[in-house]
Amino acid sequence: MPVRNIVVGVDGSDAAWRALAVAIDVAFCYHGAVHACFVWPLTATEKRAGFSAAPVSPGESDGDEERLSGAVVKALRDAGAEGDFVQREGEIGSELEALASSSDAEMIVVGRSRHPTLHLGGVPRHLLGMGRRLVLVVP
C-alpha cells in the first residue's frame, strides 16, 4: 500500500526527531508528503473544567515553538521532502488523528514514550486503539 501522506507528532524530544526522520524516509520512498504537528496539550485541570485552550497559548510562549517549527521545516527542506508543520491544541492523539483525517494520511508516526516504565506511551496506545490507519511507533 503506497503511503502518500504521513502525519508525524513532534515535540522536540529525541524520539520525536527519530520519528520525523523515519516519516521523511517513508515519504521519500513513496514520493509522499510529511505533515509534522506539535500539539499543545491540555492540562488535567482544563480537561476536568472542559476548557479547550492550553494554559499558555502558542503566541505567548518563549519562542520554543518557533525554534521547533524552524528545525522541522529545515529537516524537511534538507531531505528534499514535501511537507509542512502545524500546531494544534487539545488531546494529542485526537489532534494527530484529526490532522491525519483532514490530510488523507495513510500513516501516523510517533516516538515512543520517554518514560522507561511505559513500554508504549499514551499517545501511541490511543492511536492504535482508534485503528483508523497505520501507526508506526519509533523507539
Select from 124, 127, 21, 38 the least CA-distant residue to 79. Answer: 21
Of residues 102 and 2, more confidence is placed in 102
φ/ψ of residue 117, rounded to 5: -80, -15
pLDDT at 78: 94
CA angle 121, 122, 127 (to 5 degrees): 105
> What are the structural domains of the chain?
5-138 (3.40.50.620)
Q: Between helices 14-30 and 64-79, what is the axis angle to 10°?
A: 30
CA angle 130, 136, 139 (to 5 degrees): 125
pLDDT band at 43 (very low <50, low <70, confident <90, very high): low
pLDDT at 8 over 80: yes
pTM above 0.75, yes or no: yes
pLDDT at 74: 94
